[in-house]
């Protein structure tokens, strides 16, 4: 087992632990929306870490592209929950700016669903270590 697998697994585990703690806190205090938003953020980051780890071990460019394609969903939920957390917990920020961030991220998610292999790359080619690019 490589050190990256251990590090990514530990990071995802820490995120899930925090998510559970804040989810339990929110269940006891349902008027404290910041706990729920923090929990959603932590779950999203754990999902991103899992997809990154799978991407590091991808066997083909198609598999790597599909993993990035799927990663847009937890990235969307992470960004929108962070925006909501900042708004609810700190009671600050311009609402139009938060709506703009969430709307643009949603637009990116929709475009990603219709892009092959994903919105980040036009084409993914296999790179053989030690070869000329």
DSSP string, 29-62: -TT-HHHHHHHHHHHHHHHHHHHHHHHHT-SSHH
For 13-65, write each residue's pLDDT tens digit: 999 999 999 999 999 999 999 999 999 999 999 999 999 999 999 998 899 99
For 80-132, write each residue's pLDDT tens digit: 999 999 999 999 889 999 999 999 999 999 999 998 888 988 888 886 665 55
Give the pair of three-digit tokens for residue 84.
């909501």
pTM (two decimals)? 0.89
Q: Select from 85, 79, 73, 70 the least CA-distant residue to 102.
A: 79
Sequence-separated (6 or more) residues with CB below 8 Å from residue 39: 18, 19, 20, 22, 23, 26
CA distance 51 to 65: 11
For 58-81, write each residue's pLDDT tens digit: 998 899 999 999 999 999 999 999
pLDDT at position 126: 80
Give CA separation, 124 vs 26, 70, 119, in Å: 42, 16, 12
3 state DSSP class of 128:
coil
């Amino acid at each position: 087992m490589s050190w990256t697998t251990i590090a990514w697994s530990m990071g995802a585990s820490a995120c899930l632990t925090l998510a559970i703690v804040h989810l339990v806190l929110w269940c006891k205090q349902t008027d404290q929306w910041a706990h729920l938003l923090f929990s959603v953020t932590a779950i999203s980051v754990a999902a991103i870490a899992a997809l990154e780890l799978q991407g590091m071990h991808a066997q083909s460019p198609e598999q790597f592209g599909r993993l990035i394609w799927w990663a847009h969903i937890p990235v969307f939920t992470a960004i929108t929950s962070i925006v909501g957390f900042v708004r609810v917990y700190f009671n600050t920020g311009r609402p139009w700016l938060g709506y703009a961030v969430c709307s643009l991220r949603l637009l990116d998610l929709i475009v990603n669903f219709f892009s092959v292999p994903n919105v980040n790359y036009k084409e993914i080619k296999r790179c053989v270590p030690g070869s000329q690019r």
